[in-house]
């Protein structure tokens, strides 16, 4: 049993990945405390709604590039060697239309749709699709093999890795981040030596944090039983500057995710039926194979969904500070990149925990 008591607040992909990495260090005794857990579907819990895939949107030369870069090897390993994690390889095609350049979606995807992005050397098979092979309306496109994560399998898998390494998991709702350090929250009953704040969008409201630079970017999806031969994303749509078009088929029977939108500042939790129709039409248009030429009537819908991406101006916050005398390490605000940056961000957060605790992690 470790001698440093740590409470990780949050059981989304940020909290669980950070707890998983921390739990490998025998000096740390970990309690994961959260309002929502894998298995829940709630508008305050972004992680289950994600596609999710690894399609880097980070800008070259930023910390976000490093976090994305550091996340690829663990996901590659999971897809190659650990089928039980629910991650599989998929061919990926990214389409750019020059006319989208000023839209919200194109700004979000600016690096993703570039013909020569930083990640061109990350994937062995990255290549530009020749102009002669491009669909009508597409100006340039790239393809490579990436991964798609079935979040319904992956989040419980992450949790089970934490449990295997001795972490204790419990439900709790905190009004103030320092409340997580109070006696009785950590399973030892003693006050926590350090709190890790992985509260996502709620960091904008949580006492002691109240980070007003964290806002929602609403994403609406349709989950269908149909399969797609590859993952697709486009730089924009003709239906509005904050609408998007992407497709990915999840591993192990998880269905196919049709997206979407990127509606900044929109907190609406319910699916918009008109948007759902537009999403389905756009997806079938770029991938007719979804329904074998039968149009959207050929889609077999499992459910409609809405999630709020925790976007933070200036990017994900990975910092440490003392709040009410308690060491607190923040890891929140990953926006639309919470999975594809998860290991990189969590490694950076673990480094800060090690510094604060004066402990060297053995991984
Ligand atoms: P969350 O998953 O929201 O978890 C927050 C946790 O904190 C929860 O357990 C919650 O209960 C807990 N919590 C909050 N406040 C408190 C409190 N006061 N007390 C106790 N507990 C609290 N990312 C990708 O990388 N690839 C994708 O393809 C992708 N697709 C997406 C598609 C959609 C439609 C959406 C909505 C998101 C997508 N994302 C994708 C983004 C990704 O889902 C998020 O970046 C990620 O889930 C954020 O995880 P998180 O752990 O920070 O937050």
Same domain, 302 and 321: no
Q: Is 199 annotated as a binding residue?
A: yes
Band of pLDDT at residue 108, cut at 50, 70 and 90: confident
In the block, which residue shows the tokens 């003392």? 322
Q: Is residue 35 part of a domain?
A: yes
Same domain, 207 and 274: no
> DSSP characters for 170-210?
EE---SBGGGGGSTTTSTTSSPPSEEEE--GGGGGTSBTT-
Measured in Å, residue 338 CA sits from the centre of ligand 1 at 7
Distance CA 22, CA 351 (A): 10
Q: Looking at residue 130, what DSSP letter applies?
A: P
The reported pLDDT for the residue numbered 361 is: 43
pLDDT score of 363 more than 60: no
pLDDT tens digits, residue range 217-226? Answer: 999 999 999 9
Same domain, 343 and 221: no
Same domain, 258 and 132: yes
pLDDT tens digits, residue range 268-302? Answer: 999 999 999 999 999 999 999 999 999 999 999 99
Here the contacts of 124-129 (C-beta below 8 Å, separation 24 or greater) are 129/93
CATH number, domain of 176, equals: 3.40.50.720
Strand partners, 96: 140
Which amino acid residue places its CA nearest to atom 51 of ligand 1?
Answer: 12
Instruction: Please give the angle made by the CA atoms of 58, 307 and 20, to the nearest 5 degrees.
Output: 65
The reported pLDDT for the residue numbered 104 is: 86
pLDDT score of 145 more than 50: yes
pLDDT tens digits, residue range 169-182? Answer: 999 999 999 999 99
Asked whether 45 lines ligand 1 (CB < 6 A), one says yes
Asked whether 147 lines ligand 1 (CB < 6 A), one says no
Domain hosting residue 264, numbered range? 90-146+215-312
pLDDT tens digits, residue range 39-77? Answer: 999 999 999 999 999 999 999 999 999 999 999 999 999
Measured in Å, residue 63 CA sits from the centre of ligand 1 at 20
Q: Is residue 62 part of a domain?
A: no
Q: Is residue 322 part of a domain?
A: yes
SS3 label, residue 138: coil
Q: Give the C-alpha distances (Å, rounded to integers) separating 328 from 181, 195, 221, 261.
A: 9, 5, 34, 33
Same domain, 195 and 270: no
Q: Is residue 195 part of a domain?
A: yes
Q: Is residue 207 part of a domain?
A: yes
Atom of ligand 1 nearest to the CA of 341: 25
The reported pLDDT for the residue numbered 359 is: 55
pLDDT score of 24 more than 70: yes
Asked whether 317 lines ligand 1 (CB < 6 A), one says no
Distance CA 9, CA 202 (A): 11
Residue range 336-341: mean pLDDT, rounded: 98
Atom of ligand 1 nearest to the CA of 11: 9
Q: Is residue 64 part of a domain?
A: no
Mean pLDDT of all residues in the chain? 96
Atom of ligand 1 nearest to the CA of 338: 45
Same domain, 306 and 266: yes
Residue range 257-264: mean pLDDT, rounded: 97
In terms of C-beta density within 10 A (0-12 exposed, 13-18 middle, 19 or more buried), how is residue 336 classed?
Answer: buried
Asked whether 48 lines ligand 1 (CB < 6 A), one says no
Measured in Å, residue 310 CA sits from the centre of ligand 1 at 7
Q: Is 343 annotated as a binding residue?
A: no
Q: How far is CA 256 from the centre of its chain?
A: 17
Q: Write the CB contacts of 359 (distance below 8 Å, at least 6 apart in sequence).
A: 4, 25, 27, 28, 353
Same domain, 279 and 337: no
Asked whether 14 lines ligand 1 (CB < 6 A), one says yes
Asked whether 338 lines ligand 1 (CB < 6 A), one says yes
pLDDT score of 113 more than 50: yes
Which range, of 129-138, 167-176, 193-202, averages the lowest pLDDT? 129-138
The reported pLDDT for the residue numbered 152 is: 98
> DSSP characters for 54-116?
----PPTTSHHHHHHHHHHHHHHHHHHH-GGG-EEEEEEEEEE-GGGTTSHHHHHTTTTT-SS
Distance CA 361, CA 111 (A): 33
Band of pLDDT at residue 106, cut at 50, 70 and 90: confident
Residue range 231-245: mean pLDDT, rounded: 96
Q: Count the domains in the chain.
A: 2
Q: Which pair of tokens denotes residue 228?
A: 């797609």
pLDDT score of 199 more than 80: yes
Distance CA 235, CA 286 (A): 13
What ipTM did this prediction achieve? 0.99
Distance CA 253, CA 324 (A): 47
Note whether 258 and 269 are within 8 A (CB): no
């Amino acid at each position: 049993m470790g001698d440093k008591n740590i409470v990780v607040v949050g059981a989304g992909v940020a909290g669980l990945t950070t707890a998983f990495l921390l739990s490998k260090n025998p000096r740390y005794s970990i309690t994961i405390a959260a309002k929502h857990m894998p298995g829940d579907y709630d508008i305050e819990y972004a992680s289950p709604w994600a596609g999710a895939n690894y399609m880097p949107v980070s800008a070259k030369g930023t910390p976000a590039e490093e976090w994305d870069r550091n996340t690829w090897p663990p996901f590659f390993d999971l897809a190659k060697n650990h089928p039980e994690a629910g991650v599989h390889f998929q061919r990926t095609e990214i389409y750019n239309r020059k006319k989208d350049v000023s839209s919200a979606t194109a700004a979000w995807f600016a690096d993703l749709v570039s013909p020569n992005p930083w990640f061109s050397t990350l994937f062995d098979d990255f290549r530009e699709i020749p102009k002669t092979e491009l669909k009508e309306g597409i100006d340039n496109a790239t393809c490579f093999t990436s991964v798609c994560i079935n979040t319904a399998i992956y989040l419980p898998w992450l949790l089970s890795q934490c449990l295997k390494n001795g972490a204790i998991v419990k439900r709790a709702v905190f009004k103030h981040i320092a409340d997580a350090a109070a006696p009785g929250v950590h399973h030892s009953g003693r006050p926590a030596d350090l709190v890790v704040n992985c509260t996502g969008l709620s960091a904008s409201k949580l006492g002691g944090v109240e980070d007003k630079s964290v806002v929602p970017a609403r994403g609406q999806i349709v989950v269908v039983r149909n399969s797609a031969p590859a993952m697709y994303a486009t730089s924009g749509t003709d239906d509005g500057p904050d609408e998007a078009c992407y497709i990915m088929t999840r591993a192990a029977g998880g269905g196919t995710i049709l997206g979407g939108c990127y509606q900044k500042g929109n907190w609406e939790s319910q699916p918009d039926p008109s948007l759902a129709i537009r999403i389905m039409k756009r997806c079938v248009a770029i991938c007719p194979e979804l329904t074998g030429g039968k149009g959207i009537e050929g889609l077999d819908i499992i459910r409609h969904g809405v999630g709020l991406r925790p976007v933070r101006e200036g990017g994900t916050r990975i910092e440490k500070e003392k709040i009410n005398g308690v060491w607190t390490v923040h890891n929140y605000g990953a926006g639309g990149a919470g999975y594809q940056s998860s290991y990189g961000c969590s490694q950076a957060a673990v480094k800060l925990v090690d510094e604060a605790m004066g402990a060297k992690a053995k991984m």
